[in-house]
Structure 1
Amino acid sequence: MAVTLRYGWTTGACATAATTAAYTALLTGTFPDPVQIVLPKGQRPSFALAVERLSDQSATAGVVKDAGDDPDVTHGALVRATVTPGRAGSGVLFRAGPGVGTVTKPGLPLSVGEPAINPVPRRMMREAVADVATRHGGTGDAVVEISVDNGEELARRTWNPRLGIVGGLSILGTTGIVVPYSCSAWIDSIRRGIDVARAAGRQHVAGCTGSTSERVAAELYGLPEDALLDMGDFAGAVLKYLRRHPVPRLTVAGGIGKLSKLAEGHLDLHSGRSQVDLAAMAETVRVAGGDEALAARVAAANTALEALGHCQAAGLPLGDLIAERARRTAVEVLRDAPVTVDIVVIDRAGTVVGRAG
């Protein structure tokens, strides 16, 4: 029986709901609860308020983020909006409150020094303020400060420190809706990581499948943190974005299991969406001159690491062979982009067991 996963709401949607409630209270003296907003695709969800605070010159409302069934680090976070009157003709100005980051590096869709409130959430909040002003006789000039309780701590578990967003989280979302186990947030982070590396003038970036391969790439090439891309399983996202936004040199680093999938042409290396092909690995061994007994042991292995062990014992460089085939896949995806590619294959301990390029 299929299980239907529950969708949730982005931090941008929560910030918009809190802003709508706070600005309404600033104009009318009353907080709407629940508060309804309009998402970019026209949906009209309602949000319960967890915080209401009103004074003569400001109003604060808070919404607890519900990420649905997605394992989002911000699930359960309290997103607050404090709204104060703006000067005449100023429109909506945004401020980063506690737990919301500030942009310190170029390459993001926001200028250096700006609060890390992304363009779509900004548009949603501006439209919400304009709608409330129309309904309740306001000017629409407002200062909106967004904060997230414990946001600075939560941000350490995101890409923000590497992207140069300091002091807290980003307020994100393009649809307002969190799709459970969606790849979109991770892929967006990969793209922003490449943007930041390019803006910093980096000539060499490394797409790494995990923390061990990231450490190895940094040690091998002396790469700074903003040149290291936590690509996870999304090799295709790195390659396709670099095809359009090239950096002169790319290293792809990862464990032999994941990179054997890239060698077979898979661009999504997740175990649920691609599998290690031991039969193909055995054929690689045969083509490289390995005898039939070795090929049979590789085909019967439980894991890519076990197959590697058999080949190492026989003196056959399986890691290098997989690296070369993975490099061919990467070059094919990059097409004619001016990107030089090399591959680094490691074992679980972080020992380099194969290289190409």
Structure 2
Amino acid sequence: MSESDEKVTNDLSIAESEQDLPQEVKEKKLKGQLKTGYTTGTSATAASKSALIALLTGKIVENVQVTLPKGKIVTLKIAWTKIHENSITSAVIKDGGDDPDVTHGAEICSTVEFTNNKGNVQIIGGTGVGKVTKPGLGLLLGHAAINPTPIKMICESMHEVLDLYPELIEKQGLKITISVPNGEEIAKKTDNPRLGILGGISILGTTGIVLPYSTASFAAAIRQSLDVGIALKADTFILTTGGRSEDFCKNLFGDTYPDHCYVQMGDFAGYSVKQCHDKGVKKVFIAGFIGKLTKIAMGVKQTHVRGSHVSMEFMANLAERAGAFEDILGLIREANTARHVSEIVDSHKVKGFYDLICRNAASQLSNYSKNELSIEVIMFDFKGYTIGKFPKN
């Protein structure tokens, strides 16, 4: 889920954020030193072009040029090419740049062969490319998870080569099979199973390039998850700050909500709520731990950028509203972390403190939905017990 999607760029003014980056990555990002990479779609296009050149000319090339959707021409290295009896297969090693993409290093293969379907270019998925089993992705059910932009890129790249041999395409067509040898295993580390893409990875990309640690890609994944759930008639979503809070929610709710109702929003709480509102969702649960929920309650949009620390004064004010005495407020003001505050609150039995954080978080998030979306906030402790909630049922 880390390939670039530029369409979300304007939306991010609602919820500008970063993932929890290592310090050295933050420094590189600030200096503009992170290396961009190429999407699986660009890799598949390069492999297809290489295989077609070999099929038509018998020549094996080491590099090919690919035209990206916005017109930029890039050169990709071909890892290997194999000649079969009636087809040619080429492979590109997917280069995600400095992005921690699980598909980085994967072999993206393309097998090209002639068919009797004159003038037609057929693109299908082979081993390691997932098949679509749920609606909401803009792809045909039962077909390979190859997005429209990569299909367009592959077709255009094929015609660039075929234009040099017009007599061939007039007599026959082409069949292109995209495969990823280790794709099924790689897919287990992605959201594909949740989205109903089974048996492998997706061939993705709207710009052709991967932006390292892109907030746009994370936000695009949220939108995609919501679209799948909505297509499956979901009107309630559980938005969690991560995998652990999602697991705790599943323990809490049991079988009440199917898997497609769960969306990991990361740092994009406001953005996720706005998307739910805009897509006509009726209700959302927001679930997380004290640190992230406190930042949301404070109205912090960028919950993981520098300077977005939890305010101990804010927490002390909430504790005072919950009835804490002055000596406890002093301890909270001197606390190191939100978790440290929770230890102070628990040891002094300050009742209602966590509920107040949840109440304030819900109030802040309501701003992203014009107060038209039902929002319920749940706070877990680190063992999975519910310690705070708003509204109280």
Q: Which bracket does the TM-score occupy, shorter chain normalised?
A: over 0.9
| 1:165-216 Cα distance to aligned partner (Å, 9 max, x none) | 0000001111111111112222221111111111111232101112221122
Aligned residue in 2 for 1:306? 340
Residue 56 of structure 1, CA deviation: 4.8
Residue 314 of structure 1, CA deviation: 3.5
Question: In structure 2, do the counterparts of structure 1 residues 336 and 279 end up closer, same or farther at CA, with 3 Å as the change threshold?
Answer: closer
The unaligned stretches of length 5 or more in structure 1 are: none
| 1:198-254 Cα distance to aligned partner (Å, 9 max, x none) | 111123210111222112222322322111112222213311211211222110101
* C-alpha separation in 1, matches of 2:302 and 2:222: 14
Aligned residue in 1 for 2:237? 205
Question: In structure 2, do the counterparts of structure 1 residues 3 and 24 end up closer, same or farther at CA, with 3 Å as the change threshold?
Answer: same
Aligned residue in 2 for 1:171? 203
Q: What amino acid does structure 1 have at the position aligned with 2:374?
A: T
Whether the aligned pair in 2 keeps the contact of 1:311 and 1:317 (CA below 8 Å) is no
Whether the aligned pair in 2 keeps the contact of 1:40 and 1:174 (CA below 8 Å) is yes
Residue 273 of structure 1, CA deviation: 6.8
**Identical columns (%):** 38
Asked if 1:154 is matched to 2:186, the reply is: yes
* C-alpha separation in 2, matches of 1:225 and 1:90: 43
| 1:85-123 Cα distance to aligned partner (Å, 9 max, x none) | 244356322211111100000010211111011111111
Whether the aligned pair in 1 keeps the contact of 2:119 and 2:169 (CA below 8 Å) is no
Match of 1:294 among 310, 328, 338: 328
Q: What amino acid does structure 2 have at the position aligned with 1:334?
A: S
Asked if 1:264 is matched to 2:294, the reply is: no
| Aligned ranges 1:64-213 → 2 under 5 Å | 64-89=93-118, 91-137=120-166, 138-139=168-169, 141-213=173-245
Deviation larger for 191-200 or 266-275: 266-275
| 1:246-268 Cα distance to aligned partner (Å, 9 max, x none) | 22211010111011111111234
- The TM-score, its normalising length taken from structure 1, stands at 0.94
| 1:48-86 Cα distance to aligned partner (Å, 9 max, x none) | 111202235311110001111111111111100111224
Residue 8 of structure 1, CA deviation: 0.9
Aligned to 1:105, the other structure's residue is in SS state: coil
Asked if 1:318 is matched to 2:353, the reply is: yes
Residue 280 of structure 1, CA deviation: 1.4
Q: What amino acid does structure 1 have at the position aligned with 2:125?
A: A
| 1:134-156 Cα distance to aligned partner (Å, 9 max, x none) | 12334283221111121110100
Whether the aligned pair in 1 keeps the contact of 2:38 and 2:96 (CA below 8 Å) is yes
Q: What amino acid does structure 1 have at the position aligned with 2:279?
A: H
Deviation larger for 87-96 or 60-69: 87-96
Question: In structure 2, do the counterparts of structure 1 residues 246 and 274 end up closer, same or farther at CA, with 3 Å as the change threshold?
Answer: farther
**RMSD in angstroms over aligned alpha carbons?**
1.9
Q: Count the aligned residue pairs.
A: 356
Aligned residue in 1 for 2:5? none
The unaligned stretches of length 5 or more in structure 2 are: 1-26
Match of 2:92 among 55, 63, 70: 63
Q: Which is bigger in relative contact order (C-alpha 8 A, separation at least 6)?
A: 2
Deviation larger for 91-100 or 160-169: 91-100
* C-alpha separation in 2, matches of 1:284 and 1:15: 54
Aligned residue in 2 for 1:355? 389
Aligned to 1:46, the other structure's residue is in SS state: strand
Aligned residue in 1 for 2:280? 246
* C-alpha separation in 2, matches of 1:325 and 1:342: 11
Aligned residue in 1 for 2:257? 223
Q: What amino acid does structure 1 have at the position aligned with 2:99?
A: D
Deviation larger for 310-319 or 76-85: 310-319
Aligned residue in 2 for 1:341? 375
* C-alpha separation in 2, matches of 1:112 and 1:34: 35
Asked if 1:234 is matched to 2:268, the reply is: yes
Q: What amino acid does structure 1 have at the position aligned with 2:190?
A: T
Question: In structure 2, do the counterparts of structure 1 residues 161 and 130 end up closer, same or farther at CA, with 3 Å as the change threshold?
Answer: same
